[in-house]
């Protein structure tokens, strides 16, 4: 069970909601409305006031690295810190058949792990990051636009894997502009209001 209690993401009103195990919450809203900031706040990647509980433990009570092993944020544009994806995977799980299956499920092979990051397409990198996030079996997946950079075929594969994670009892929060994806996967939909355009600074700039 994930419980968010009065999370303050200005200029939004304080957010409170609950998502049970095996359920998916879709976060929708225009660009700049705070979808990414909400997911990052739950993963404790930005300092944001408010309480976030997973199975009763509040995020501030748990050491941050341990929290993020349970609550896994996957950025819309994933980062890589080595020449090939292999260097960005924990070495423990590398030789298991499980990783092979996970790669296969999203249309990738083990060979993709040894290609240069720069040679991989945006969609391949996005799917590799998705598989990378599944390692260590986090309880909560925070997926920032998981299918935005994918062709329809790959998007369907990833969607199926998200559903599989829900069957396994995991909690999934995903931000998306794809109303169809939100409708098919989510049990609850959270619509963030349009950001108000602030013109206060423009007057002095010219």
Partner 1 sequence: MTYVSLTPLDLALAAILLVVTAGLSLAFRLGLERTIAVSAVRMCVQLAAVALVLKLVFESGSSLATAAFALMMLAATAYEVGSRQERRFQGAASYLIGGAAPFVAGLIASVFAVSAIIGSEPWWSPRFLLPILGMVIGNALAGVTLVLDTITIAASRDRAAIEARLALGASRTDAMQDVLRRGLKAGMTPILSAMAVAGLVSVPGMMTGQILAGADPVDAMTYQVMILFLIAGATGIAVVLAGLAAVMLLTDDRHRLRLDRLTTVSKTE
Residues 80 to 109: which contact partner 1 by CB under 8 A?
80-81, 88, 90
**In angstroms, rounded to a whole number, what is the distance separating the alpha carbons of residues 27 and 30?**
10
Q: Which of residues 32-51 bind partner 1 (CB under 8 A)?
A: 43-47
C-alpha–C-alpha distance, residues 29 and 189, integer Å? 10
| Residues belonging to the chain | 206
3-class secondary structure per residue, 134-174:
HCCCCCEEEEECCCCCCCHHHHHHHHHHHHHHHHCCCEEEE
Closest by alpha carbon to 172, among 184, 186, 158?
A: 186
CB closer to partner 1, 14 vs 87: 87
- The footprint of partner 1 on residues 146-185 (CB under 8 A) is none
Applying CB under 8 A, among 25, 74, 131, 157 the residue interacting with partner 1 is 74
Number of residues that bind partner 1 (CB under 8 A): 27
CB closer to partner 1, 24 vs 143: 143
CA distances from 189 to 5, 14, 72, 181 (A): 17, 17, 20, 11
- Pair 116, 80: CB distance under 8 Å: no
Question: Given the rule CB under 8 A, which of 3-11, 78-86, 96-104, 159-167 is the region that contacts partner 1?
Answer: 78-86
| 68 forms part of the interface with partner 1 (CB under 8 A) | yes
Helix segments in 59-151, DSSP class H? 64-70, 97-105, 122-134
Q: Which stretch binds partner 1 (CB under 8 A): 6-14, 15-23, 126-134, 145-153?
A: 126-134
Rule CB under 8 A: is residue 140 a binding residue for partner 1?
no
Question: Where does this chain touch partner 1 (CB under 8 A) — which range of 12-20, 79-87, 187-195, 197-205?
Answer: 79-87
Q: Which of 190, 164, 7, 177 lies closest to 76, judged by CA?
A: 177
Q: How far apart are CA 206 and CA 200, in angstroms?
A: 12
Tell me: does residue 130 bind partner 1 (CB under 8 A).
no
Binding site for partner 1 (CB under 8 A): 43-47, 60, 64-66, 68-69, 72-75, 77-81, 88, 90, 129, 132-133, 135-136
């Amino acid at each position: 069970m994930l419980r968010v209690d009065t999370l303050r993401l200005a200029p939004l009103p304080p957010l409170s909601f609950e998502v049970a195990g095996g359920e998916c919450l879709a976060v929708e809203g225009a660009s700049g409305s705070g979808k990414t900031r909400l997911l990052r706040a739950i993963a404790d990647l930005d300092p944001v006031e408010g309480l976030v509980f997973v199975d009763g433990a509040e995020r501030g009570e748990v050491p941050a690295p341990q929290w993020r092993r349970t609550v896994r944020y996957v950025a819309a544009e994933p980062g890589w810190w080595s020449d090939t994806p292999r260097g960005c995977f924990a070495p423990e799980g590398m030789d298991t058949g499980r990783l092979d299956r996970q790669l296969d499920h999203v249309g990738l092979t083990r060979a993709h792990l040894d290609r240069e990051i720069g040679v991989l397409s945006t969609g391949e990198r996005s799917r590799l990051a998705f598989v990378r996030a599944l390692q260590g079996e986090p309880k909560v997946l925070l997926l920032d636009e998981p299918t935005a950079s994918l062709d329809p075929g790959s998007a369907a594969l990833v969607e199926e894997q998200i559903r599989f994670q829900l069957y396994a009892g995991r909690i999934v929060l995903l931000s998306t502009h794809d109303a169809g994806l939100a409708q098919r996967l989510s049990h609850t939909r959270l619509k963030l209001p349009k950001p108000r355009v602030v013109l206060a600074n423009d007057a002095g700039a010219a």
